[in-house]
Amino acid sequence: MRTYFDCWAAVAASLFSQALAGSPELAESLPKPLGPGSFGLAATVRGEAEGRFSVLVDGSILETSLLGEGVDQRAAWMELLREAAGAAAGELLAKTGRKCQVANYEEIEAENQV
């Protein structure tokens, strides 16, 4: 059965390839110490799929203008993560018929963990 995570990964890969310069690579991993300035998004999902979904981005990514010159890279990443989280709910509905929505977004810092 397809999960919210499966849908997020598919949507994020598509959105990231459209929005980012170069060829982005997504990696799933267990929590580990990340570099200074790492940040992310926690999304609370409600409906037929429920839970808290978190994505962390290594802070070193901000040293590269992947989202365009003169753009606040951190803010742009947060918007991209929000967009992927919301689109994953739509993807889950389309692929499985299970209805859910992102009820809350919360910015998180890697130092605080998820």
Residue 82: which residues within 8 A CB-CB, separation 6 or more? Answer: 41, 43, 105
What gap in Å lies between CA 91 and CA 11, rounded to an integer?
A: 8
Rounded to two decimals, the pTM is: 0.83
Least confident residue range of 12-16, 31-35, 82-86: 31-35
What gap in Å lies between CA 86 and CA 103, rounded to an integer?
A: 9
What gap in Å lies between CA 68 and CA 6, rounded to an integer?
A: 28
HEC string of the chain equals: CCCHHHHHHHHHHHHHHHHCCCCCCCCCCCCCCCCCCCEEEEEEEEECCCEEEEEEECHHHHHCCCCCCCCCHHHHHHHHHHHHHHHHHHHHHHHHCCCEEEEEEEEEEHHHCC
| pLDDT, tens digit (0-9, with 9 covering 90-100), for 38-77 | 899 999 999 999 999 998 888 888 887 766 777 788 888 8
